[in-house]
Amino acid sequence: MTTFKDSVARLETDIGKAFSEVNHNKRATPRARVNKLLHSNPNLWRGCDMAGQGFHGISTGYPELDGILPGRGWPQSGLVEIVSRHWGMGELQLLIPLMRSIIEQGKWILLIAPPYILYAPALTQAGIDIHQILIVKQDTSCKDALWSMEKAMQTKNCGLVLAWQNWLPGRVLRRLQLAAETSGTLGMLFKHNDSKHSPSPLRLQIKGSAPEDSSFAAAEVTVIKARGNFRPLSTQLDLYQDSLSA
């Protein structure tokens, strides 16, 4: 597990290297090199992240959502919680661009106990190779589901784990967070209720469109908690915009 002390030591080494290399590149100033190093290290929190600045995240595919997330996108690794009072509010559609990116990297995606049967033709149309998706069925025991989640997060060939679970206690979430950060894997946990004491560094809430709107195209996404972000931020998204199609 990377500690703050390790991050500082690594940064000091990199800064020293940056200054020593300045003479070899007259066009780059020491400040420019140091700023580049600061922005490339996701283990360091920067005050500018509070305003949605910094670019060390993975783009969500939604510019509006990128704008309210620290790092301008999903974290590179770790555990993200997405709270939705009901399944099917657009929580999976929200991740289509991310899933497509993971597939393009040649990595696997694991789905743990999805509450509905995935529609393969729609995934294929969105540019997602369903042959790189593994599914653990909903009737799998909690013990086996947890084992699958942890093992997948420890596997570098698995780039994304999606799990629909409401029963995981804080100590288990901390274990999963550690496994994901250590292996550089990203885990998404869908829940019905928010937990204020969750160790996950990023928690979002998604709400569907207004009841009178039967298109289910729009959604409101709120950042409940984000590392380095001290106030909730919300945005409206068009989940089925044309730019998401492959």
> Model confidence over 19-34: pLDDT tens digits?
454 444 545 566 666 6
CA 140, CA 244: separation in Å to the nearest integer?
Answer: 32
Strands annotated E in the chain? 78-83, 108-112, 133-136, 158-164, 186-191, 202-208, 218-226, 233-238
Residue-level pLDDT at 216: 55
CATH of domain 48-244: 3.40.50.300
Q: Phi-psi category of 52—alpha, beta or left, where left has phi over 0 and alpha has psi -120 to 50? A: left
Q: What is the mean pLDDT of the chain?
A: 78
Q: How many Å is the Cα radius of gyration of the chain?
A: 19
CB 188 within 8 A of CB 161: yes
The contacts of residue 181 (CB under 8 Å, 6+ apart) are 1, 2, 77, 78
Residue-level pLDDT at 208: 73
Q: CB 2: neighbour CB atoms within 10 A?
A: 12
Tell me if residue 13 falls in helix, strand or coil.
helix
Domain positions in the chain are: 4-40, 48-244
Out of 7-11, 63-67, 102-106, 153-157, pick the least confident: 7-11
Model confidence over 76-107: pLDDT tens digits? 899 999 999 888 778 888 999 999 999 999 99
CA 117, CA 27: separation in Å to the nearest integer?
Answer: 55
For the entire predicted model, the pTM comes to 0.72
Per-residue pLDDT at 5 exceeds 60: no
Find the length of the chain.
Answer: 246
Model confidence over 207-228: pLDDT tens digits? 875 544 445 577 899 999 887 6
Per-residue pLDDT at 120 exceeds 80: yes
| 52 confidence band (pLDDT: 50, 70, 90) | very low
Residue-level pLDDT at 163: 93
Residue-level pLDDT at 50: 45
CB 235 within 8 A of CB 77: no
Model confidence over 175-211: pLDDT tens digits? 898 888 888 899 999 999 888 778 888 999 998 755 4
Per-residue pLDDT at 36 exceeds 70: no
CA 92, 96, 102, 106 torsion-angle sign: positive
The owner of tokens 């939604």 is 62
Residue-level pLDDT at 27: 55
% of the chain residues with pLDDT over 90: 30
Higher pLDDT, 114 or 25: 114
The owner of tokens 């496994």 is 179
